[in-house]
Chain A
Amino acid sequence: MTATWAAARSDGKVTMRTIRIGSGAGYAGDRIEPALELAEKGDIQYLGFECLAERTIALAQQARLADPDGGYDPLLTARMEMVLPTCVQRRIRIITNMGAANPVGAAAEVARVARRLGLHGLKIAAVSGDDVLQTLQGGDYSLMERPGTVAGLGDRVVSANAYLGVAPIVEALRGGADIVITGRVADPALFLAPLVHEFGWDLADWDTLGKGTIVGHLLECAGQITGGYFADPGYKDVRDLARLGFPLAEVAADGSAIITKVAGSGGEVSLRSCKEQLLYELHDPTKYLQPDVVADFSSVRLEPDGADRVAVRGGTGTARPDTLKVSVGYRDGYMGEGQISYAGPGALARARLALDIVQERLKLTGVRADELRFDLIGVDALHRGPQGDVPEPPEVRIRVAGRTDTLAEAVRIGNEVETLYTNGPAGGGASKSAREVVAVVSTLIPRTAVTPTVQYSVA
């Protein structure tokens, strides 16, 4: 494989029968070592790490305001220390959005890690241009989720990042980058980009881009397709979740793929696990909007292909949208919260009494909250639906949460729960918290208003 790989890298025209791409993280805080298992035993050529949730980049932007060299993923260093030696040895190229609010700063950190590990000559590409805050402030951009405009959020806006597509990542790979670090890009693009690069897919071949996007979608949440977010004892038993293997896809030039994982790792790749992940965060199956294509999942066929192997065929796509989605992070006030627990006979009645007391106290003391929530954890905190009579739980924990304009008001909510210790029914284990809320809304920006750039450095 190494020889073939070298040939492919020195001559972009050489196509391999299949490309094997691993998924090393499904969110910012994900487990660290499954990526190493993929690099060592997965026989992969690419390793993607998807680490940016909707709000992550807004928080990263705030971190960068505090430290101009920061604003990239806090686990970048640990992940690179773990996988870089093996990736260099096996010529596995890394693609990740761990650059968050500072891809150039992240690239510099990866270079430092490489030098520390004695790895030299690595070419690192930083993809920027997703930050469109300046552009948005000069225009009239409607919010997608509710009435209003970005300008209407005023100085509360902290970040605005467009979802970039594969183009700058493909450019970086063509430029010989061993590691590509981006900020906001569409999650599947981290996996679609190497396919476009290796197979020379046309960026107007909607059918194939649709298929490649589906593969990327299946990989982007890492363990969610190999048995994570899945187990239900007695109904869906999954083995060895503590050693869950992360997925890899073996992709052919026509966009069909096998999803599998390293032999001997925990979890399962099965029809049922793949079906769940295929439909994860999907709305209309015929219109999965991406920067590069509108993917159509409706004709996807999943077929077993041996132990922990599922074949993905079908699927298609239509022309990409003229606009890019932008996630706008803004300061949305504060949230205060308090909890305390009750147990033994009558626990539910005492918990209800406690909630009544807090509700009255918040009124009596004039706490100004825009919205309040009263939960009985263990009874109705997750589902408030028509459940009929609730059986008496052996223990129940109350939770009061509220939204306020100031941190001081938010603190008072938790305080009113905590004072139940000495003023309410007998309960214990109180906790409280208050924090600023950074929320996210979306808008659309013309594709032509966004200019991705690629910057190279050599470690």
Chain B
Amino acid sequence: MKLRELAHARTGDKGDTSNISVIAYDPGDFAFLREHLTADRVQAHFADIVRGAVDRYELPGLGALNFVMHSALGGGVTRSLSLDAHGKSLSSCLLEMEIPDDQSVRSRA
């Protein structure tokens, strides 16, 4: 199952740092996401893009995780050679990640 089935996401940018929020459609899936969507997995998913560390922050009240990826935007939005210098599309790329099938998944809200 792709992460997209359980969560939506948004990328933000500041300098050379990109953050991706991952938000469970159903807050009941938050614990499942917290278990499977680790900083290490996100780092591996973006191995060819992110050159620095990946930090994860938890927002259980929102059913969300926030990943902060350092040295992730080709030297910074204002000097990156990337077609998508802001990394706006990275959130969608993250939703491609395979996660275990969750039998308890409810339909999307």
Contacts and interface: CB of A to CB of B under 8 A. Distances in A.
Are A and B subunits of one complex? Answer: yes
Interface of A: 54-55, 144-145, 229-230, 232, 235-236, 272, 275-285, 297-302, 332, 335, 371-373, 375, 377, 381-386, 399, 401-403, 437-442
A401 B55 CA distance: 30
A256 B8 CA distance: 26
Contacts of B108: 235
A403 B81 CA distance: 8
A439 B49 contact: no
Given A373-B81, A386-B45, A402-B81, A279 B8 contact: no
Contacts, number: 127
A340 to B, nearest CB: 14
A117 B55 CA distance: 52
Contact of A384 (B4, B14, B21, B48): B48
B10 to A, nearest CB: 4
26 contacts: A55-B77, A55-B78, A235-B108, A272-B23, A272-B25, A275-B62, A275-B64, A281-B12, A281-B19, A283-B17, A283-B55, A283-B57, A298-B61, A301-B61, A302-B62, A381-B82, A381-B83, A382-B90, A383-B96, A384-B48, A385-B45, A385-B47, A386-B44, A386-B47, A440-B78, A442-B15
Interface string B2-42: 00100011101111110101010100000000000000000
7 A-B pairs with least C-beta separation:
A281-B12, A279-B21, A384-B48, A439-B79, A383-B93, A276-B10, A373-B81
A387 to B, nearest CB: 8
B57 A236 contact: no
A252 to B, nearest CB: 20
Interface residues of B, number: 45
Contacts of A375: 83
Given A272-B25, A440-B15, A382 B79 contact: no
Interface string B58-78: 010111101010000000111
A298 B96 CA distance: 27
Nearest to B48: A384
A279 B24 CA distance: 13
